Structure 1
Amino acid sequence: MLQEGKVSVVVPIFKVEKYLHRCVDSIIDQSYKNIEIILVDDGSPDNCGSIADQYGETESRIKVIHKRNGGLSDARNHGLKHVTGEFTVFVDSDDWLEMSMIENLVKNSWKYKADVVQSGFFYAYEEKLLFDNRYHSKNGEPELLTKETLMYELVSNEKVKNFAWGKLYKTKIIRDIPFEKGVLFEDVFWAHKVMHQVNTFLILHQPLYNYYQRSDSIVATYTPRNLDIIRGLKERHGFIEEFYKELTDESYKAILKMSLIHYNLLLRNRKIDHGGLYRKEIQSYISTNYSKLKKAVKNEKQLTQQLHLFSLHPYLNVLYLGLGKGLKTLKILPQPDGLELVKIKQ
């Protein structure tokens, strides 16, 4: 039986002893006190396990789970098995929360009868904080999304991100939807299944979550496993075609954007793409689905140009992007909107 008003905070832990105190302390210090903190030590080889145990001995709201290493998805799934709260929040163990985050999310969930509440977030670096003001305003009013508009925003990946973190979920919605194990970018495989169950989704624009940008994170160093994100988008595409046909073009657009990005990344990291097999796979997909992709991007001039050039030869698209970057550097072309510098740390 889930406890009304209680928030379960699931924190998967692996090789983050440098950051763990900051993360856990930010949860303990939340202004909303009716929480349980589930620390899942995913077989971490450093001191994370003992640090978690120390917290468990001194803080009655903390549960510590030790398990063999199985990856982020497996750790989250284990944490979910121990959740007893009406609500669930996921926090990555190198990130941290603003003190009022959970209180704000819970109060607004009750006020708007929202199944999921998403907060704004900072891209947090050692020396600065950045805020994406293209789609969010720090002083903006809460924004309600229906199921239909929610799925569009998720697929377009602008206002609504695929990230599992930074959101408050009604536990009953997510407890039977496990994360896919053994993949990177596991949230892309998971989020659309959750949002399909949501009737009301609320966006709080204020940044209440700090998303730490680590140079040594699993997504910072490129490997072929990064291509899991394309596999996730393709898997999601099948779901979109079945349940949200009107978003098929938007889904193709997302796959194309990511495919072009990763083709160029593979080109820059040719040593890991033996015989160009991964690039050939991307090229084959784009060639096979060319007419559908062309229809999907017909209203976006730059993507249409990139698709056309790529179909002639992938290197032409690389040259096109390089020329555009050079012209922007010379200020001949306008720079795109970027992130707002919010704070420089001393």
Structure 2
Amino acid sequence: MISVIIPVYNAEKYIIACLNSIKMQNVDLEVICVDDGSTDNSGKVIKEYCTSNHFVKYLYQQNAGAPAARNNGLEHAAGEYVIFFDADDLLFPNALKNMLHSMTINSADVVMGNYDEIDEQGHFLRKMNQRDCVVGLDKNWQFVLCAPLPGNKLFKKTFLNSHGIKFEPLKIGQDLNLYLKILAIAKIVLLDQEVMGYRIVQGSISRQYSLKILDICNSIDNVKEYYATLGKTNDYKKYISIAELIAYRSQLAKIRFFTSEDQKNKIIEVLGRRIRKSYLPSKVLLKTYLKERIKCSIILCMTFFNLY
């Protein structure tokens, strides 16, 4: 059985479409909706859905964030396999069946699929083929530039539990944190098929702008510590540090949405220092590294001259 774990916070607008897309999956499954203290009608909508769809379970918790909600759902999961899905996303037909088949025949710990980006109305925006992100490295390092979102990945639950893998209590970078950790220890297989629609919602946490974006530093530091405990610090420097640089550049790019000069200066101080100290990666990743450093320099220069 597959457990689909969905953290829910004020998602009444999208949750039914999400649940219906899961209902159409031709596999044995359960859905665990963890209401993270919603202030809208999300809880009521899900409870009504549960009355005629008994594969859906409803859990409530005081607002503690998506990582805590996902971990809560994992503790209650009865399935042998789990997928962490967002309440505003859509599973494509046969996605779970195909991912489960790939996991079984490859004896994998994690199966990762392609996905489409969709807008708030569910209209197609662009394909996100993960095969295009694969680089010429061996083992899981070939996947270091792939998207870290969890909704396109099926996990073997025993793998997560045996390694103590959970979502860290972070405001920013919780998905990246988990993904970079599994790169070090999991057997990952890429399924070259679209499995989900990832909805771009303007009000989502990843698109809100405050000094909380600096929590990306805590996310990265936690990953570094994890690699150190595994004795893989050199692997981190050679392969994973490029993801660190991309994460800093991604957060730095949000500086154009800030109006406070004090906040801008703080972001430049913290992220700028970390970018300058970034490691030189493996030769295969060097071109990407140089491109990212150039992008960071352009953002900083344009911010300095009030052009960004």
Length-normalised TM-score, structure 2: 0.84
Q: Which residue of 2 aligns with 1:223?
A: 210
Q: Is the 8 A contact 2:117 2:125 kept in 1?
A: yes
Matches within 5 A, 1:82-161: 82-125=76-119, 126=121, 127-133=123-129, 135-136=131-132, 149-150=139-140, 152-154=141-143, 156-158=144-146, 161=147
Aligned to 1:46: 40
Of residues 174, 189, 199, the one that matches 2:160 is 174
Q: Does 1:186 pair with 2:174?
A: yes
Q: Which residue of 2 aligns with 1:213?
A: 200
Equivalent residues of 1:11, 1:91 under 8 A apart: yes
1:235 aligned to 2:222? yes
Between 256-265 and 93-102, the greater mean CA deviation after superposition: 256-265
Native 8 Å contact 2:115 2:129 kept in 1: no
Match of 1:7 among 2, 5, 19: 2
In structure 2, relative to structure 1, the CA distance for the partners of 1:293 and 1:268 (3 Å cut) is farther
- Say whether the 8 Å CA contact 1:237–1:252 is kept in structure 2: no
What is the distance in 1 between the residues matched to 2:139 and 2:56? 37
Q: 1:315 to 1:166 in 2, by over 3 A?
A: same
Matches of 1:40 and 1:24 in 2, distance apart? Answer: 13
Structure 2 distance, partners of 1:197, 1:209, is: 25
188 and 294 in structure 1: CA distance in 2 versus 1, 3 angstrom threshold: closer
User: Would you say the 8 A contact 1:266–1:273 is kept in 2?
Assistant: no
* 1:35 pairs with one of 29, 33, 50: 29
- Give deviations 1:255-293, integer Å, cap 9, x for gaps: 333334433432552417447122112233344x27x45
How far off is 1:134 after superposition? 7.3
Cα distance per residue 1:130-165 (max 9 Å; x no partner)? 10347349xxxxx9x99x621x134x323xx22222
> Residues 224 and 236 of structure 2 are in contact (CA less than 8 Å); yes or no, is this contact kept in structure 1?
no
Q: Structure 1 residues 47, 316: CA separation in 2 closer, same or farther (over 3 Å shift)?
A: closer
Taking a change above 3 Å as real, the CA distance of residues 197 and 250 of structure 1, as seen in their structure-2 partners, is closer
Task: Classify 1:48/1:285 alpha carbon distance in 2 versus 1 (closer, same or farther; 3 Å).
Answer: same
Aligned length: 298
Q: Secondary structure at the match of 2:32?
A: strand
Measure the CA separation in 2 of the matches of 1:317 and 1:45. Answer: 37
Relative distance call for 1:228 and 1:101 in structure 2 (3 A) is: same
Amino acid at match of 1:149: K
Superposed CA RMSD in Å reads 3.2
Q: 2:269 aligns to what?
A: 280
Which of these two proteins has the greater Rg computed from alpha carbons? 1
Distance 2:219 2:44 in 1: 35
Partner of 2:248: 259
- Segments of structure 2 that go 5 or more residues without pairing to the other structure are none
What displacement does 1:191 show? 2.2
Map of 1:140 onto structure 2: none
Confirm or deny: 8 A CA contact 1:240 1:248 kept in the other structure.
Answer: no
Partner Cα distance (1:266, 1:304) in 2? 16
After superposition, residues 251-330 of structure 1 pair within 5 angstroms as 251-266=240-255, 268-271=257-260, 273-274=262-263, 276-287=265-276, 289=277, 292-293=279-280, 299=287, 301-303=290-292, 314-315=300-301
- The 8 Å contact of residues 242 and 281 in structure 2, kept in 1 or not, is answered as no
Q: TM-score, normalised by structure 1?
A: 0.75
For residue 56 of structure 1, report the CA deviation from its aligned partner.
1.8
Question: 1:59 maps to which residue?
Answer: 53
Deviation digits for residues 91-132 of structure 1, max 9, x if unmatched?
Answer: 100001012011111112111211111111001113333103
Secondary structure at 2:206 match in 1 = coil
Q: Percent identity?
A: 22
Shift of 1:19: 0.3
Which 4+ residue blocks in structure 1 deviate beyond 6 angstroms?
A: 294-297, 316-319
Distance in 1 between residues matched to 2:39 and 2:302, nearest whole Å: 45
1:247, distance to aligned residue in structure 2 (A): 4.2
CA contact (8 A) 2:50 2:56 kept: yes
Gaps of 5+ in 1: 1-5, 138-142, 323-346
